[in-house]
Structure 1
Amino acid sequence: MGSTISTAKKVAAFQSAKGNTFYCLFEQTYESNVSPKTPRWSCCAFGDLQVAMERIFSAGSACEGGMLRYRGGSVLPENYIAAWLREMANPSGMADVPVELSVSGSFYSTWSEDGLQERKDALLALGMGDIVARLEQRERVRLSLYENAELLAELVKNHGVSHWRLLSINSVSGISGGESHLAYAPEPVKAPMSVLPAAMRLDENNYLLQNEEGSWYGAGWAYSIVGDYIRNVVMPAELASPGRYKKMIKAMRDHLEAAPALAQDMTVTISKATLDRNPWWLKQVRDKFTLLPASDGGAAIGVPYPFVGEAGEWYALSRLDKDDATWSIGLPQQIALPMDGPKPEAGTVFFETEPVKIGNHQWKLVVLEDEYYGPVTQFQFRSGDAGAPWCSERKWPTWDGNLANAGMPESLGPRLFQPYEKLVKEALKGVSVALPQLSLF
């Protein structure tokens, strides 16, 4: 996996015709796994101070895991952010260039034809009726940057326009500090440090963090936790009370490094909504753990200390979102029989349709137990001879998983899936479902 290499930064600022300050951020980068390694400038943010700071801190968060670094090696997020803030304090000017909007199939066009139509109602609501009409006629529409800064910033923020398609570093005018009256250089403000959530190590890489009400949740690896903290906590705190970001980032990093290892029995409770939404995930978990019913209709998993399992087992549990699962101290009370029950053997059929003839072959839809994914749907076919063996859809001569119908006959859906959709969904829960009996009267 490659990294983005940052080689230079530039901030330009201007005041719109309406008197609002806008920032244009440019960064020179290349990808470590692409040759030739030629750094190129690109506009990476355009908007007000909030937009600029969000981009700076979001990119800085990627430095913690090494996805963004300098040519000489890794860089701490706080040092990367500091370099941008120096540029924000010494912005160059931005010329009032004509910004072009266009619609075509070109990669560099503002929108594709479909993209414009998808956003047409929203653009009309912005008062862009004349512009939309011209774009639909394949005209290239040029707008003054200063006169239309607010509109352009809205298009970038909410309507699918890429800032790098609108602005070029060639439009930067003057020297650094040339727009000092628009600089962002606030005086540091003394403010109390944010309270950090309690943390525990699951293993060498995975962590638990504590919710405000006292339960815990799987928060992933340290670099991910620090990255989320930079984006969601440090950035707004820095805007409210400038000068805190370095101490805040370091405090979270040190906090995780000092976190104690898990040394007590725990229970993971998975919500019913998660189980209903991800039956394939439930299948994977059931292969590794004993599931007990939870009071809310979900499932509880006991994690006794010391945990003697594989890293993959930790990963399966710790990657659940905080809204999907919570951790609590102590082992679950077995209030009923385990949810697991005997595991169906691979190939167990839960439901199948009557065969139908399509062309020279017979087809049927089957719901069966997959070795890895649990209950799955599968189309099967055989030649017109009723005694011929049934074959999996993947053996169909034109099968292609990248196509919408996987290269199989288009009538399979209307004839075999749609009439039995409710029964198929029931069978995908791992329940045997029979075809309804036809009435004789």
Structure 2
Amino acid sequence: MGSSILTAKRAGAMQKADGEWIYALFERGYESNVYPHTDHWSAVALGNYAQVMRRVFSHATSCEGGMLRSRNGSIRPENYIASWRSELAKPALLRDRAIDLSVGSSCYSAVPESQLDDVRLSLIRAGFESRIDELVGGSLSVSLHADIDLLLSIYGNSGPLSVWRVLKEYDCGTSQIEVQVPSATKTAMERMPEVRCHSIDQHNVLVAMGAAPWRHAGWQYSAVGSFVTDVAYPVEMEAPGFAKKAIPAFRDAVSNAPQVPSATRITVTRSPEGTEEWRVRRADELARTLGLVAEDACAPAVFSFAFGDLLNREDTDRLLYGLGSFSDEQLQWEVPVTRAGAEPDPAFFADDVQLSLCLA
């Protein structure tokens, strides 16, 4: 499987009449398994600061799993995010020009015919219903500056189409401007939620954030990716600088997590409402393997067992790996509380980070 190789980044910006800054983000790169390795520019986001940063955080999750790299190797999500913050502080001026929103059958059309209904609905929701006839008639030409809200309704974060269809890197002028972005706060890490984690096997981890219940978070890189988008992004928008320290702290926690205690109780609900049939069959298979029901019987509606029941067996690896096939609604984990006075492993903590972990 190939990776996307990032070779350059660039941000363009324009200011709306109400003073809000709108950014267009561009990345240059190529796919590692496509030859020759010729990099090219592509627009990846359009919106205000919070909106384009949401896209940046989403792309950052690909860094953790190695799907987005540089020519020199891996990129840490926190470094990818920090580099984009620097770009947004000194963007190029996004020049105004006319953009033809032509409807066509090509997959590269500004508005593909196959997605015309979605675009029409987006325009209605954004209050641009009066422009639909022009669009359908093939005569809708808009100004990048004057009609930016219309463009955002189609090509912004919540729009149905990607911005590369209408914006190019050369839309950025040569003049660089300074735009004030939120400054990092010294108290950002005070927003770090309590993190508890255990390793299920060599790759998968069990995680609980704050008061939330324990959940199977998948492979370590997946757990970090979920933290980036679900925790780091919203906190970063309120406490700038959080992501830079919180992401590596969380990574260290899942990387060094102790094994799930053998006494941990796992309760399986066979078929919660909306559960896919294959997941229900997985519950049946587990109950049979553990000897809870006959070979041809279905699992009880609810059954439980100790994590230790899965260990020291010939099929332990298969059973532990199989826990990842259940939905969060099917599994309830009851992990023994750390004994009073137990000291957490210092390896979980950086000198300047306070992170609360549940260790057994």
Name the SS for the 1:326 alignment partner.
Answer: strand
* CA distance, structure 2, for counterparts of residue 273 and residue 160 of structure 1: 34
- Does the CA contact (< 8 Å) of 1:275 and 1:298 recur in 2? no
Which structure: greater helix fraction?
2
Distance 1:270 1:100, change over 3 A: farther
* CA distance, structure 2, for counterparts of residue 241 and residue 322 of structure 1: 30
Aligned to 1:188: 185
* CA distance, structure 2, for counterparts of residue 216 and residue 125 of structure 1: 39
Note the C-alpha offset of 1:70.
Answer: 0.4
Note the C-alpha offset of 1:227.
Answer: 1.1
Aligned to 2:11: 11
Q: Which amino acid aligns with 2:229?
A: R
Aligned to 1:254: 252
* CA distance, structure 1, for counterparts of residue 29 and residue 212 of structure 2: 43
Name the SS for the 1:108 alignment partner.
Answer: coil
Q: Which amino acid aligns with 2:275?
A: R
* CA distance, structure 1, for counterparts of residue 213 and residue 151 of structure 2: 44
- Residue 200 (1) aligns with residue 198 (2): yes
* CA distance, structure 2, for counterparts of residue 155 and residue 43 of structure 1: 14
Aligned to 1:317: 323
Q: CA RMSD in A?
A: 2.6
Note the C-alpha offset of 1:122.
Answer: 4.4
- Does the CA contact (< 8 Å) of 1:265 and 1:303 recur in 2? yes
* CA distance, structure 1, for counterparts of residue 29 and residue 318 of structure 2: 35
Which deviations, in whole Å up to 9, do the C-alpha atoms of 1:87-128 show, x marking residues without a partner? 111111100121221211111213333421345344234343
* CA distance, structure 1, for counterparts of residue 225 and residue 149 of structure 2: 30
Q: Which amino acid aligns with 1:323?
A: E
What TM-score comes out, normalization by structure 2 length? 0.82
Note the C-alpha offset of 1:294.
Answer: 9.5
Q: Which amino acid aligns with 1:287?
A: E
Question: What are the equivalent positions in structure 2 for 1:404-419 lying under 5 Å apart?
Answer: none
Distance 1:119 1:148, change over 3 A: closer
Question: What are the equivalent positions in structure 2 for 1:153-232 lying under 5 Å apart?
Answer: 153-156=152-155, 157-175=157-175, 178-180=176-178, 182-184=179-181, 186-191=183-188, 192-210=190-208, 212=210, 215-232=213-230
Name the SS for the 1:277 alignment partner.
Answer: coil
Which stretches in structure 1 are left out of the alignment for 5+ residues?
331-441
Note the C-alpha offset of 1:30.
Answer: 0.6
- Does the CA contact (< 8 Å) of 1:10 and 1:27 recur in 2? yes
Distance 1:213 1:23, change over 3 A: closer
Note the C-alpha offset of 1:62.
Answer: 1.3
- Does the CA contact (< 8 Å) of 2:23 and 2:46 recur in 1? yes
* CA distance, structure 1, for counterparts of residue 2 and residue 16 of structure 2: 39
Note the C-alpha offset of 1:316.
Answer: 2.0
- Does the CA contact (< 8 Å) of 1:265 and 1:305 recur in 2? no
Which deviations, in whole Å up to 9, do the C-alpha atoms of 1:306-352 show, x marking residues without a partner? 6133433222213434333222248xxxxxxxxxxxxxxxxxxxxxx
- Residue 300 (1) aligns with residue 304 (2): yes
* CA distance, structure 1, for counterparts of residue 284 and residue 113 of structure 2: 47
Note the C-alpha offset of 1:185.
Answer: 5.3
* CA distance, structure 2, for counterparts of residue 214 and residue 239 of structure 1: 21
Aligned to 1:412: none
- Does the CA contact (< 8 Å) of 1:193 and 1:248 recur in 2? no
Distance 1:103 1:227, change over 3 A: same
Note the C-alpha offset of 1:305.
Answer: 4.8
Aligned to 1:328: 334
* CA distance, structure 2, for counterparts of residue 280 and residue 79 of structure 1: 39
Note the C-alpha offset of 1:172.
Answer: 0.5
Aligned to 2:73: 73
Name the SS for the 1:174 alignment partner.
Answer: strand
Distance 1:300 1:306, change over 3 A: closer
What TM-score comes out, normalization by structure 1 length? 0.68
Distance 1:35 1:268, change over 3 A: same
- Does the CA contact (< 8 Å) of 1:211 and 1:217 recur in 2? no
* CA distance, structure 2, for counterparts of residue 165 and residue 100 of structure 1: 11
Which deviations, in whole Å up to 9, do the C-alpha atoms of 1:348-368 show, x marking residues without a partner? xxxxxxxxxxxxxxxxxxxxx
Which deviations, in whole Å up to 9, do the C-alpha atoms of 1:364-417 show, x marking residues without a partner? xxxxxxxxxxxxxxxxxxxxxxxxxxxxxxxxxxxxxxxxxxxxxxxxxxxxxx
Name the SS for the 2:45 alignment partner.
Answer: strand
Note the C-alpha offset of 1:39.
Answer: 0.6
* CA distance, structure 1, for counterparts of residue 319 and residue 139 of structure 2: 55
* CA distance, structure 2, for counterparts of residue 142 and residue 312 of structure 1: 58
| Equivalent of 1:239 in 237, 240, 256 | 237
Distance 1:77 1:212, change over 3 A: closer
Aligned to 1:39: 39
Aligned to 1:27: 27
Note the C-alpha offset of 1:134.
Answer: 2.3
Between the two proteins, the alignment pairs up a number of residues equal to 325
Distance 1:111 1:274, change over 3 A: farther
Distance 1:232 1:121, change over 3 A: closer
Name the SS for the 1:5 alignment partner.
Answer: strand
| Equivalent of 2:278 in 271, 277, 280 | 280
Distance 1:284 1:39, change over 3 A: same
Q: After superposing the two structures, state which structure 1 stretch, 80-89 or 268-277, moved more.
A: 268-277
Question: What are the equivalent positions in structure 2 for 1:350-361 lying under 5 Å apart?
Answer: none
- Does the CA contact (< 8 Å) of 2:12 and 2:93 recur in 1? yes
Which deviations, in whole Å up to 9, do the C-alpha atoms of 1:184-218 show, x marking residues without a partner? 25253423151332111111111111365585221
* CA distance, structure 2, for counterparts of residue 214 and residue 86 of structure 1: 34
Note the C-alpha offset of 1:282.
Answer: 2.8
Question: What are the equivalent positions in structure 2 for 1:124-139 lying under 5 Å apart?
Answer: 124-137=124-137, 139=138
Q: Which amino acid aligns with 2:269?
A: S
